[in-house]
């Protein structure tokens, strides 16, 4: 039996889905480090990612009339690609919206600085010991890292995100 030949429109749809996957991946690479600063960030990421995946998969199967199958061949790969694209895009968009349209939550958290490390570009990372004994790593801007050089404690400002997830947005040294 001869292998089926893919028509040019089918190749174009696959190419568009792969291009959308690359674009969503680039958006996630840019927005992904901000998940470090979200309180309960793992829950925020998984809910946004899997919600986007479900919408992408169901939307593709209903919109294009494809019967869902556990197969990655032919037209059955497209709902899975659409799910992956929308999952990554939803996680990136949720993070951006949550931190961009946030309001200050009020009380700050005092924590001991464990380490301050330079990342890529102007990104810096601070590891702190929270009052409950847990260690947490946060992404901080370069000017905050400069202000925290040589300090022992930091005041973490908490903001309430648009989507209901609090995140650490302010980093000020605590001086005696």
**Per-residue pLDDT tens for 34-57?**
898 998 889 999 999 999 999 999
Q: Are 118 and 145 in contact (CB under 8 A)?
A: yes
Report the pLDDT value the prediction gives residue 133, as an integer from 0 to 100: 93
Cβ neighbour number for residue 154 with a 10 Å cutoff? 26
Alpha carbon distance 61, 83 (integer Å): 10
Phi first, then psi: give them for residue 5, nearest 5 degrees. Answer: -95, 130
**Length of the chain, in residues:** 176
Q: Name the nearest CA neighbour of 101 among 90, 91, 109, 93.
A: 93
pLDDT category of residue 73 using cuts at 50, 70 and 90: confident
Q: How far apart are the first and last CA of the chain?
A: 80
Name, in order, each residue with C-beta under 8 angstroms of 38's C-beta and a sequence gap of 6 or more.
44, 45, 95, 98, 99, 161, 165, 166, 167
Inform me whether the pLDDT recorded for 26 exceeds 60. yes
Residues 18-44: what's their mean pLDDT?
A: 93
Report the pLDDT value the prediction gives residue 1, as an integer from 0 to 100: 46
Degrees (nearest 5) of the Cα angle 40, 42, 48? 105
Residues 144-173: what's their mean pLDDT?
A: 92
Q: Which residue has the tokens 């696959």?
A: 14
Report the pLDDT value the prediction gives residue 6, as an integer from 0 to 100: 64
Inform me whether the pLDDT recorded for 5 exceeds 80. no
pLDDT above 70: percentage of residues in the chain:
96
Residues 20-46: what's their mean pLDDT?
A: 93
Q: Name the nearest CA neighbour of 59 among 38, 33, 84.
A: 84
Inform me whether the pLDDT recorded for 148 exceeds 60. yes
Domains of the chain in start order, with CATH, are 8-100 (no CATH), 104-173 (2.40.50.100)
Alpha carbon distance 23, 12 (integer Å): 16
């Amino acid at each position: 039996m001869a292998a089926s030949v893919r028509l040019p429109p089918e190749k174009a749809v696959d190419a568009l889905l792969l291009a959308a996957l690359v674009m969503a991946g680039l958006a996630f690479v840019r927005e992904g480090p901000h998940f470090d600063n979200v309180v309960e960030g793992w829950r925020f990421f998984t809910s946004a990612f899997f919600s986007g995946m479900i919408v992408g998969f169901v939307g593709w199967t209903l919109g294009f009339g494809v019967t869902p199958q556990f197969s990655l061949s032919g037209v059955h790969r497209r709902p899975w690609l659409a799910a992956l694209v929308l999952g990554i895009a939803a996680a990136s968009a949720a993070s951006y919206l949550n931190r961009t349209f946030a309001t200050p939550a009020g009380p700050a958290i005092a924590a001991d600085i464990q380490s301050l490390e330079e990342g890529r570009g102007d990104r810096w990372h601070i590891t702190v010991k929270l009052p409950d004994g847990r260690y947490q790593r946060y992404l901080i801007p370069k000017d905050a890292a400069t202000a925290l050089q040589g300090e022992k404690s930091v005041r973490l400002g908490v903001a309430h995100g648009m989507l209901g997830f609090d995140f650490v947005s302010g980093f000020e040294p605590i001086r005696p």
